[in-house]
Structure 1
Amino acid sequence: MGEEILINFTPMETRVAVIENGMPQEVYVERVHRRGIVGNIYQGKVVRVLPGMQAAFVDIGLERAAFIHVEEVLPQNASHEEKNNTSIAQVLREGQALLVQVTKDPIGTKGARLTTHLSLPSRYLVCMLGNSHVGVSQRIEDLEERDRLRNIVHSLIKEEDGEPAGFILRTVAEGAAEAELKADIQFLRRLWASIKEKISTAKAPSIVYEDLPLNMRALRDMAHSGLERIRIDSRETFQKAEAFVRDLVPEVTDTLEYYPGERPIFDLFNVEEEIQKALGRKVELKSGGYLIFDQTEAMTTVDVNTGAFVGHRNLEETIFKTNLEAATAIGRQLRLRNLGGIIILDFIDMEDPDHQRQVLRTLERVLERDHAKCKVMGVSDLGLVEMTRKRTRESLEQVLCDVCSECQGRGSIKTPETVCYEIFREILRQHRAYDTDSYLVLAAQPVVDYLLDDASNHVAELEAFIGKTIRFQVEPMYNAESFDVVLR
């Protein structure tokens, strides 16, 4: 079984799943009211220059100002010395208009990240404006093919009269004919000409170019001749996709398929079930071991445990097999959850260096299939595997979930016993400060139950100590940690 792409479209939301060997590997969700803005180009306005951070805040029309570093303002060919010795205040001033492109969506409390090094993607190429470099994706490994592609683009650039622009050949360009690359270059030139027209009349802050919606981006960036099928469950989206593919990705025209089935498209290959699992902390392994994922603002940690798996031969063999299975599962989960930034993997300690190497090799092999750029640093002195995965958009959890109103993202809440002792301390504080006949405690049901049952002796002792009666009332709207002590 090969690779498939499923596109589930509704007017409010588009979802795309990448299936490999019958298993969901990647899931992307885009909601109309909060579409990602990576790739969008804005006429922005510098609102604050921060020399101490070598950065500036730029208003691009969002509720939160976006952030740009001095490196993203200086020319791409600037020397290391120039980048180190140039102050942001020398190149930007407050109130200045600045043409910028978004490289990272706003994530959590962080604003969008920007660059002035504009790029426009097409099927086979990424056009780097104001640059003259021609590069080839590292994933095209054949040296002859790399040279062939580079030579074709160099000769096509010479034929064109447009303003200077560099190009990077994308992975899907492998095997592309000269005519296809020429069509791509002409398309990118036309697109840039239309953007420049908008820029000439745009007032800051305003958008001058918006990247394609998710369903079209999936066809542009993920579709390739090795695909078995691309199924789309909306007839209108399918018709638009047909026209788009005919112009831009003709080699996948035959794989495009309208899916009219009564069974929801994401029920095929259990995509819905896998999304629910990807929102949980725990991932079960077939061997009986399990993984624990913890996503924080600074990094993501993954803990590997043997669980119920005790193996048949010896402990070292058990640990090795669990770690091998975990490495494969981690590679898939990082893609499925779209986790990025710093990732720390805590495999079970292995004594045998050969076992360590094999587990690392397995992890690297799984990550080779990842669309996002990954870098594995090896095993640290503490036995942890440190790696990074390029993050441009929010993770699946950040798109689909909100911070828990009960625990405020801590992942735990105080026990009824802890809240009960807080209530006792508050009653004593109020007893010293005010004169009253009695107290009424308003709290959630589990807390009141604990006070009237397990803590009833302590309540009686407190009443005797302060010489006042204490009554309790359940407040259904209170969360487990909320309470009020009312003077009566």
Structure 2
Amino acid sequence: MSGSEILINVTPQEVRVAIVENGLLQEVHIERPRSRGIVGNIYKGRVGRVLPGMQAAFIDIGLEKAAFLHASDVLPPEGTDLPRNGEEPKITDLLSEGDEVVVQANKDPLGTKGARVSTQITLPSRFLVYMPYIERVGVSRRIETAEERTRLKETVEALHPPEEPGGFIVRTVSEGVRSEEFERDVRFLRRLWESLQQDIRAVRAPALVHEDFTLPMRAMRDMVDEQMDKVRIDSRETWDQIQTFARDFVPEVADRIEYYPGERPIFDLYSVEEEIQRSLDRTVYLKSGGYLVIDQTEALTSIDVNTGGFVGRKTLEETILKTNLEATQAIARQLRLRNLGGIIIIDFIDMEKSDHQERVFRALEYALSRDRSKSHLVGFSELGLVEMTRKRTRESLERTMTESCPYCQGRGVVKSLQTVCYEIFRETLREARQYPAEQLLILANPSVVDLLLDEESKGLADLEAFIGKSITLRSEAGYTQEQFDVVVL
């Protein structure tokens, strides 16, 4: 990833991480303390309903909705006599109502669905993933060189004698890593698991046993590699925490971590803020004049490719091919940027020549190869559609930042009240820095003003103290939920 940067924007209300490659925003991750994701968290749960017909069970892990556990995600208890002919064991042979079970969340609650959990616990570190219940050493498939795969496997096996329980998966970022760095990760993961086992024994179900790192730490663990040029953070406190974390886990990039004290908001660099706003639009315009239309539904995401105003200079078939090839790059970027997952259907502009279809399909494959989320592509169908799946573990950007519009019964979306409040905070800070004034007046929808005076009152007070100016609020019944003005008095 040449020319890559990570920008970390920290406020009391939310933390945002942006990955920028060659000056272009590629990924955005948002975490709000009130609605943190649970992927990676470990729980001691109690089995509720067992559903033989679905080969699954619902597990009470202490959340509002019961978690879903499929038989394929259950490790059989030691000594259990189960079929060995390749058949999947029955859920009734594995679990009974009332059983206590230790599970890990591998999908957040999405929409109306509860979290997806597994008893196959994994603990990630910088270079390794520890599997306490599976005794083998594996290597990420993304490391393609046979010699390097063999070296990595042998290196980790040497640090993991047969009498030690569990096994390891060597992560993609481990390419070229020395034995000493693996040794540090092995020690850390074993200590962590020993500590967790004590916690598991001590608590009663349902209970949270282990919570994954916060978003900035996960970004350092999962997103930073030796090709990353810079990590910029606009919070001194978070910068201090990340410096300590980096010294322990990623010392090779510690000198690339910078505190950003600039007057200009960090997400105004590379127009990240504008790109986030654009990522909520249905339409994505291509440089050639063509465009994409992206529609996200509960069942799947559809992407429609159109030529728009692009007429080309050669034949119609060449114009269509050029638009479709350009669209493959834009589609791969939008999937990462919007964090779209599940089933995705792409309707490219119809191509008559099979070799053109092949070129477009290969271009899409290549564009997706830089995506950390695993995807599976199916060739063109008889209707000229490309079907694909992309691994989804967290809510999409749209579902994180928006809510169903009350004026159209869910057919469209508006930014959530929280999102509007945080935009008001950022705009107020921007205005206060740009213009000398003693007071600022915020005009907004009554629901937004109510939230600012209630749940966000501390944030508002902190902002007043920070800018040294008084802030007055005024409800405007004629304003929509997203509409507001900040007036310098």
| TM-score normalised by structure 2 residue count | 0.82
Q: Map of 1:37-52 to 2, 5 A cutoff?
A: 37-52=38-53
In structure 2, C-alpha distance between the alignment counterparts of 1:81 and 1:107, rounded to whole Å: 34
Query: Could you tell me which of 122, 127, 138 is aligned with 1:124?
Result: 127
Does 1:182 pair with 2:186? no
Is residue 103 of structure 1 aligned with residue 106 of structure 2?
A: yes
3-state SS, counterpart of residue 90 of structure 1: helix
Tell me the equivalent position of 2:30.
29
Query: 2 CA distance for matches of 1:408 and 1:109?
Result: 16
Distance 1:382 1:293 in 2: 19
- Work out the CA distance in 1 between the residues paired with 2:32 and 2:196: 25
Shift of 1:171: 0.7
Question: Does structure 2 conserve the Cα–Cα contact (< 8 Å) formed by 1:70 and 1:83?
Answer: no
- Structure 1 residue 327, shift from structure 2 partner: 0.6
Distance 2:83 2:335 in 1: 33
Per-residue CA deviations over 1:178-220 (Å, capped at 9, x if unaligned) read 0000110110000001101100111100000100000000000
Name which of structure 1's ranges 252-261 and 81-90 shifts more when overlaid on structure 2: 81-90
Find 1:139's aligned residue among 127, 142, 147. Answer: 142
Cα displacement (A) at 1:87: 2.1
Distance 2:88 2:16 in 1: 46
1:241-252 matched pairs, under 5 angstroms: 241-252=242-253
Conserved 8 A contact 2:82-2:89 = no
Deviation at 1:355, TM superposition (A): 1.4
Aligned partners of 1:168, 1:273: CA distance in 2, in Å? 39
Deviations 1:278-324 (A, max 9, x none): 11111011111110001011110000000111111111111011101
Code of the residue aligned with 1:46 in structure 2: it is V
1:377 & 1:133 partners in 2: Cα distance?
A: 31
Asked if structure 1 preserves the Cα contact closer than 8 Å seen for 2:43 and 2:210, the reply is: yes
Q: What is the deviation of 1:361?
A: 1.3
Distance 1:213 1:308 in 2: 45
1:87 maps onto 2:90 in alignment:
yes
Query: What's 1:367 paired with?
Result: 368
Contact 1:101–1:115 (Cα < 8 Å) also in 2: yes
Aligned mates of 2:219, 2:351 — CA distance in 1: 40
Match for 2:301: what amino acid?
T
**Maintained 8 Å contact 1:135/1:169:** yes
Q: Residue 379 of structure 1 aligns to which amino acid in structure 2?
A: F
2:151 paired residue among 137, 148, 153: 148
- How far apart, in 2, do the equivalents of 1:330 and 1:206 lie? 41
Q: In 2, distance between residues paired with 1:409 and 1:290? A: 25
AA partner of residue 70 (structure 1): A
**Structure 1 residue identity aligned to 2:405:** C
2:221 match: 220
CA drift of 1:267 comes to 0.6
Q: Which has the larger radius of gyration?
A: 1
Amino acid at match of 1:95: G
d(CA) in 2 for partners of 1:411 and 1:4? 33
> For 1:248-397, what aligned pairs fall within 5 Å after superposition?
248-397=249-398
Mean CA deviation greater in 83-92 or 283-292: 83-92
What RMSD in Å do the two structures reach over aligned CA positions?
A: 1.9
Instruction: Name the CA shift for 1:298/1:82 in 2 (closer, same or farther; >3 Å).
Output: farther
Q: Distance in 1 between matches of 2:138 and 2:103?
A: 22
Counterpart Cα distance in 2 of 1:212 and 1:5: 17
Separation of aligned partners in 1, 2:266 and 2:258: 12
Q: How does 1:165-176 map to 2 (within 5 A)?
A: 165-176=166-177
Aligned CA distance change for structure 1 residues 280 and 81 (closer, same or farther; 3 Å): farther
Q: State the distance in 1 between where 2:89 and 2:191 align.
A: 35
**SS at the partner of 1:140?**
coil
Distance 1:81 1:274, change over 3 A: farther
Aligned length: 413
Q: Indicate the SS of the match to 1:376.
A: strand
Percent identical residues: 59
Amino acid at match of 2:24: M
CA distance in 1, matches of 2:77, 2:348: 39
State the alpha-carbon separation in 1 of the partners of residues 243 and 327 from structure 2. 40
Q: C-alpha deviations, 1:67-124, integer Å up to 9, x for none?
A: 0001111349999866745321221111111100001000000100010000000000
Asked if the contact 1:76–1:117 (Cα under 8 Å) also holds between the matched residues in 2, the reply is: no
Structure 2 counterpart of 1:8: 9
8 Å Cα contact 1:43-1:98 kept in structure 2? yes
Is 1:290–1:306's contact at 8 Å kept on the other side of the alignment?
yes
Q: Do the aligned partners of residues 353 and 35 (structure 1) sit closer, same or farther apart at CA in structure 2, a change above 3 Å counting?
A: same
Q: 2:213, 2:82 → 1: CA distance?
A: 34
Is the Cα–Cα contact under 8 Å of residues 71 and 83 in structure 1 kept in the other structure?
no
The amino acid across from 1:125 in the alignment is L
Give the 3 Å change call, closer, same or farther, for CA 83–71 of structure 1 in structure 2: farther
Measure the CA separation in 2 of the matches of 1:110 and 1:297. Answer: 11
Query: 1:434-470: CA deviations, max 9, x gaps?
Result: xxxxxxxxxxxxxxxxxxxxxxxxxxxxxxxxxxxxx
TM-score (ref. length: structure 1): 0.82
Kindly provide the amino acid, as one letter, of the partner of residue 386 in structure 1: E
Q: Once structures 1 and 2 are overlaid, which stretch shifts more, 72-81 or 118-127?
A: 72-81
Matches of 1:76 and 1:367, distance apart in 2? 39
Shift of 1:340: 0.3
1:76 to 1:272, Cα distance in 2 relative to 1, 3 A: farther
| In 1, Cα distance between equivalents of 2:112 and 2:64 | 12
Contact 1:47 1:58 in 2 (8 A): yes
Output the CA distance in 2 between the equivalents of 1:264 and 1:275. 14
